[in-house]
Amino acid sequence: MRLKSSVTKKITAAIIAMMVVFIVFLSAFCLGLDAGHDCSGEDCPICDFMRQCENTLRGFGEGIAQPAVVLLPFIPVLFVAGLFASFVSSETLVSRKIRLNN
């Protein structure tokens, strides 16, 4: 039972981390797209949207996002290394729970 709960916690943490990275990239992408828009005045919906994106990025910048951005290029490398390690690891009779009788 303990193994399943730790695996569940790791999967949940990975999903939350991917969602945070997705939100940060989406906010930055939307800011880049709407940077040169024609503002329609005081109640411009695009300007409001851009302010929301900026607040989202600032909110992540005040927390743990700065170290995460520094480590972000290494995440795909670690993911590929984990996949490679899982395929390369050799199976043994003990890991497959095969009983050896004389």
Q: Sorting pLDDT into bands at 50, 70 and 90, what band is 1? A: very low
Look up residue 53 and give its two tokens: 């994106």
pTM score above 0.85 = no
pLDDT digits (tens, 9 = 90+) for 52-86: 888 877 776 666 555 666 667 777 887 888 777 77
Radius of gyration of the chain (CA): 22
Please identify which residue in the block is written with the tokens 């490679």.
84
Could you state, in order of their start, the residue ranges of all structural domains in the chain? 2-72
**What is the per-residue pLDDT for 100?**
79
Average pLDDT over residues 5-13: 78
Q: How far is CA 19 from CA 24, 81, 84, 91, in A?
A: 9, 21, 24, 34
- Which of 50, 49, 51, 63 is closest to 20 using CA atoms? 63
pLDDT at 22 over 80: yes
